[in-house]
A and B are shown apart, each in its own frame.
Chain A
């Protein structure tokens, strides 16, 4: 276990380093370089030269990268020239709200997808299996924004049950105080995850049902329900933790779309607005933070996986 943790953490550190490198490279690919990006399109060549000297952008690339890393470590992600705020401050306000949206969606999706997947596995080859399989494929093929649009048309306009706009509160608590506004964004996010998880759950349960230990459990006189609950479910759920880690980037991509659709004041919306106005410090800052969040998140899910699976837990 210790070995596994050390190895996995080491890998995560290497990946984090590479993520920062990728963002750094992107920064240098900006049209006109970082100076133009930060000072804006109207900056004079003199101003740009001055800025470049000030920021050290006239030094060699490795030196620049060192400086960039140093700034990152001190939490300096640059400043938004559209919002005139430090990127870090913007992110500390927005990130928790994005995590809330993601967390709620994952929980809702898991609550629905696990029983659905089990149901499909148990009724394999029957009508309900086919219908659910087809539905999962369609849900997977539906772009999140089209789904969101359909939900808005249906449940905000045709039958005005929920607001089409998400809560605009500043704090997480404020967002939670308006649960009705969260319904449509969360459901939009969750449907895609349900499609993914239920497909996975179905095949995972089917794999486990074919295992010898299930026959052993039955040979003890257990009912199907008990075999499922006591033996199969646990074994089928463990890999789902690993899947969640792999799925994190897709989840964050989803928040980008959902937040901009429902005007949910999270990191995705911040990013989208920045993209509209070419606010590069924000774009790159968010990209970096999302990358870091993904790496840490998948590290956590891997650790969870190891804790849940005794085969990994007890190896050295």
Chain B
């Protein structure tokens, strides 16, 4: 085996696979022994014949929905499997050594030395009671013959390499003293300190905000080139994978469905699952007015080995052969770089034509969907503020009575029948805004009006009656349902509370609701824990609709769901809106989702609404530097969007981190991260203006107008 390490920059994408691979996974089968809730033993066949190859210095993306086996595949390389998991057959060859059969001692020598790993949640994967310096230096002390001082020095260097400011001082910090992004940098430093040949990153940015996510992914890409190491990037997010890897393997139900160079996969996917997955992405349908293509049903349970193609039960193109015979991987091109396991592959030519045609549908449908500006105002927020005391208690000293300004003077209106989307990163106050809108919390300033009534002036009975008009759809429907109640009782509770109808009328209404959200009527006899995530969101929606409200506030309703299920829920929300003339206040961190569903959007940053306007306008011609930065930062998996050209200079992705809401910057809150900020921004908070025309408001002293308009 040649063990020389590549030193220079990696050759461009798609290195030939003819040379000796660094890593080769061959027919890997893995099962997890466990028990089901009834206590019966069961075995989950998590991986069923996975084969992958990785050349030195190459970057491979592993994509798939939850339970597809992508993480298991990655972790099996180092034998870091959860309890009960066992490789039943197959090999994992790292430079010729079979790691699947290797002793713990051999694995220990490789872990942290030849292969480094970065895990998903940077807080829980760092030891809370150990300084980050000690944690970063640890692999060196284990694998290299170095003194403590040398290890320390090397750790400082590595922390500097991953872009942690003042690494010398930071060494003494504990993980909880760092922000999420900094923690993930530390985790990367830990994985890289021994300069491994392979870095495995398991959903490294899923727990992070959009802008931080971008910074971390850029960092990983940069370091890979600098150190010449290979990369396995595991993600559920096609957008994350798109620009960062050379090749992609799409996994489904414990098997590799399709493998291809990234550009090829994004332009001409062959496996019907890959194709369906792309079609379910909200960015594909955004602004078209068309419903999202969905994948019906759920991935199969892997307790039994299904016969035939695993995707067949959900596939629109499945035939008898799909249900009985298992498709073998077949090459899509001569070079053998693109393989797929499908009997009835998609035709790339037909697909391109369809994609072209889709764009044309847009204008007519869009106009019909978007209610006119004169539609009556349902919800009106006027200068709404919400502050929380940071520390409270009878003995709190005066100077400690600092307050967190969660929402700082937000004004917006939601009209009847429209969807108003609120986008922003975590901690921007969007969830608080949602709770204020439904009246779950009282504002500390400003007013919330519903159909003209100021909520603050409503008496008990008035407020109780008001509850019928606005309902909240929770992010985690499971937490929002009493685990001890059956679904029948849960769905009937709003009717019982409001005294709507008698018992049989209520039961009839529950059946209606279940029909509307596409669940079986038998669901009334079950408990919430028996449903999947998507089904629970359906239940959550059904309960929110029980009282026939005119406005539903939906707080991140699809953020916990897989792409294919997310599409089902988004379509359902959209269909029900058309049927019932509902309004939504839709809160999400996901730009693509908001873009797909919302008629108008508001962008929030650190408690203030920096920009509002029609969705198409705001996304196409953002006026606020933050909106612009957010849009450019987001990794989207649009058609052909693989290795796209980087955006023009001057308007790069957002740098830095959001300041604390307990101590927001003076003047414009975004100024500390704004490339255009001047002294004016530090002294005067900007008022909303409409420099680009009616209906598109921006709170910025220097809005991003087309070049000529800037001076005026």
Contact = CB atoms under 8 A, between A and B. Distances in A.
Interface of A: 3, 7, 10, 211-213, 215-224, 230-231, 234-235, 238, 308-311, 314
Contacts of B109: 221
A4 to B, nearest CB: 11
A241 to B, nearest CB: 12
Contact of A235 (B107, B127, B138, B177): B127
A213 B143 contact: no
A19 B124 CA distance: 41
Contacts of A308: 129
Given A220-B112, A310-B174, A213 B142 contact: no
B576 interface: no
Interface stretch (B16-24, B113-121, B299-307, B352-360): B113-121
B569 interface: no
B113 A216 contact: no
B111 to A, nearest CB: 4
22 contacts: A3-B400, A212-B119, A213-B124, A213-B126, A213-B128, A215-B80, A216-B126, A218-B80, A218-B111, A219-B111, A219-B112, A219-B117, A219-B119, A220-B139, A220-B142, A221-B107, A221-B110, A221-B111, A224-B104, A310-B128, A310-B174, A314-B177
A157 B78 CA distance: 59
Among B109, B119, B128, B174, the most chain A Cβ lie within 10 Å of the Cβ of B128
B401 interface: no
Given A221-B143, A308-B129, 13 more contacts: A3-B391, A212-B121, A213-B125, A216-B125, A220-B142, A221-B109, A221-B139, A223-B104, A223-B108, A231-B130, A234-B130, A310-B128, A311-B128
A33 B191 CA distance: 73
A310 B125 contact: no
A3 B125 CA distance: 29
Contacts of A219: 78, 80, 111-112, 116-117, 119, 191
B127 A213 contact: yes
Given A220-B139, A221-B142, A238-B129, A212 B124 contact: yes
A220 B174 contact: no
A92 B615 CA distance: 79
Nearest to B109: A221
Nearest to A223: B108
A234 B111 contact: no
A217 B124 CA distance: 12
A302 B187 CA distance: 31
B80 A231 contact: no
B232 interface: no
A211 B130 CA distance: 14
B123 to A, nearest CB: 9
B190 interface: yes
B138 A222 contact: yes
Contacts of A218: 80, 111
Contact of B129 (A220, A223, A235): A235
B279 to A, nearest CB: 34
B176 A311 contact: yes
Nearest to B174: A310
Given A10-B395, A216-B187, A216-B190, A309 B111 contact: no
Main secondary structure of the interface of A (DSSP, over half): helix
Interface in B659-711: none
Contacts of B80: 215, 218-219
Contacts of B113: 221
B125 A220 contact: no
Contacts of B391: 3
Among A213, A215, A222, A311, the most chain B Cβ lie within 10 Å of the Cβ of A213
A234 B109 CA distance: 25
B142 A222 contact: yes
Interface in B301-327: none
A223 B110 CA distance: 12
A-B interface, 9 closest residue pairs, ranked by CB to CB distance from nearest: A220-B112, A221-B111, A221-B112, A212-B124, A212-B125, A310-B174, A219-B117, A213-B127, A220-B139
A309 B176 CA distance: 11
Interface string B116-153: 11010100111111100000001100110000000000
B128 to A, nearest CB: 6
B108 A221 contact: yes
B128 A235 contact: yes
Contacts of B111: 218-221
Interface in B373-396: 391, 395
Contact of A310 (B107, B124, B176, B395): B176
A216 B119 contact: yes
Nearest to A224: B104
Contacts of B119: 212, 215-216, 219
A310 B142 contact: no
A252 B693 CA distance: 78
A215 B130 CA distance: 15
B133 to A, nearest CB: 13
Contacts of B121: 212
A235 B395 CA distance: 32
A220 B138 CA distance: 8
Among A219, A234, A309, the most chain B Cβ lie within 10 Å of the Cβ of A219
A231 to B, nearest CB: 5
B706 to A, nearest CB: 48
Contacts of B142: 220-222
Interface string B211-222: 000000000000
Contacts of B124: 211-213
Nearest to A234: B129
A142 B142 CA distance: 47
Interface string B58-86: 00000000000000000000101000000
Contacts of B400: 3
A174 to B, nearest CB: 42
B190 A220 contact: yes
A314 B130 CA distance: 13
Contacts of A215: 80, 119, 125
A108 to B, nearest CB: 26
A309 B130 CA distance: 10
A215 B124 CA distance: 10
Nearest to B110: A221
A7 B395 contact: yes
B83 to A, nearest CB: 9
Contacts of B104: 223-224
Among A220, A224, A230, the most chain B Cβ lie within 10 Å of the Cβ of A220
A314 B139 CA distance: 26
B81 to A, nearest CB: 10
B523 to A, nearest CB: 33
B129 A309 contact: yes
A13 to B, nearest CB: 11
A98 to B, nearest CB: 33
A294 to B, nearest CB: 23
A213 B190 CA distance: 12
Contacts of A230: 130, 138
A304 to B, nearest CB: 14
Contacts of A235: 127-129
B129 A310 contact: yes
A221 B140 CA distance: 10
Contacts of A217: 127, 138
Among B110, B113, B174, the most chain A Cβ lie within 10 Å of the Cβ of B174
Contacts of B174: 310-311, 314
Nearest to B136: A220
A212 B82 CA distance: 11
A230 B190 CA distance: 16
A215 B400 CA distance: 39
Contacts of A309: 129
B195 to A, nearest CB: 14
A308 B395 CA distance: 26
A310 B391 CA distance: 20
A310 B395 CA distance: 25
Nearest to A222: B142
Contacts of A224: 104
Contacts of B191: 219
